[in-house]
Amino acid sequence: MTYWRQAGITYLKFSEIAAKCVRQAVDPKRKTADFVSRSSSTIQQTTAKTAAKKSTFKQ
């Protein structure tokens, strides 16, 4: 079992934490505008208004 699962977090949360640590560890002289702009991101979540009809499967 992977250690991020043992810690009780998702892989997405683990990768977010790892990326944050890498950004903080980079030498200030090497930080570019593109590098700094990646430190924040937004996520848009949408939900369906109606549930999709359950498909029927015939064998």
Please state, for a pLDDT cut of 70, what percent of the chain lies above it: 54
Domain-embedded: residue 48: no
Give the pLDDT mean for 7-19. 89
Mean pLDDT of all residues in 11-24 = 87
Cβ proximity of 18 and 2 under 8 Å? no
How far is residue 28's CA from residue 26's CA, in Å, rounded to a whole number? 6
DSSP 54: P
Q: Is residue 32 included in any domain, yes or no? A: yes
pLDDT recorded at residue 47:
74
Domain count, the chain: 1
| pTM for the whole structure | 0.49
Q: pLDDT at position 23, please?
A: 80
Domain with 26, as residue range(s), is 3-37
Dihedral sign, Cα of residue 1, residue 5, residue 14, residue 26 = negative
Look up residue 53 and give its two tokens: 């009809």
Q: How confident is the model at residue 3 (pLDDT cuts 50, 70, 90)?
A: confident
- Residue 44 within a domain: no
